[in-house]
Amino acid sequence: MNPEAAMAVRDALVDMIQGEHAATTQVLAAVTEAGKDYRPDPKSRTAWEIAKHLATSDVWFVDSIVAGAFAFDPAAAAKAEAAFKTPADLVSFYKATLPSKLALLKGLTGEQLTRTIDFFGAMQMPAVNFIGFMNNHSIHHRGQLAGYLRALGSKVPNIYGPSADAEQAH
């Protein structure tokens, strides 16, 4: 992929993620304090664990793409997640932080977007491809979390269309 094409792909992907941001924010906001510890199976993460992972990993992905390298520091991740005490804290962070991080992606040059980045030895791709990977990762965890909401006593918000919880039943 040439630098000009990478910039066009970047713009399309960042626009898509910006569009997903509102739905992800709504799903995060639907996690209740009382339902934070819900998990459908002992092997599953809790709703709160998924919510924190979703919000912080979106930011981590952008920072990694901008830096041109993926590194994971478990202690730093745990410290970042520990800063959130309530779902409202997490929602405020996500609403405030992700848009400014996406602006950093928009500032990358075509050369930065075409450089190959290694993802923990599992795959190597141009940086721009990881923007799509980030979006898929986010939607995956948002779907997990949305699947928990009714069981934890909350309502599923409108995501790609009306939710039975948010719209009048027909």
Residue-wise DSSP of 97-148: HHHHHHHHHHT--HHHHHSEEEETTTEEEEHHHHHHHHHHHHHHHHHHHHHH
pLDDT band at 168 (very low <50, low <70, confident <90, very high): low
* pLDDT, tens digit, 9 for 90 and up, residues 141-153: 999 999 999 999 9
Q: Which two tokens stand for residue 48?
A: 């709160």
Strand partners, 124: 118
CA 42 – CA 37 distance, rounded (Å): 11
pLDDT band at 166 (very low <50, low <70, confident <90, very high): confident
Which residue segments constitute the domains of the chain, with CATH numbers given? 3-149 (1.20.120.450)
CA 18 – CA 116 distance, rounded (Å): 24
CB distance 39 to 45 below 8 Å:
yes
* pLDDT, tens digit, 9 for 90 and up, residues 63-93: 999 999 999 999 988 998 889 999 999 999 9
* pLDDT, tens digit, 9 for 90 and up, residues 37-58: 999 999 999 999 999 999 999 9
* pLDDT, tens digit, 9 for 90 and up, residues 114-126: 999 999 999 999 9
In whole numbers, what is the pLDDT of the chain averaged over residues?
94
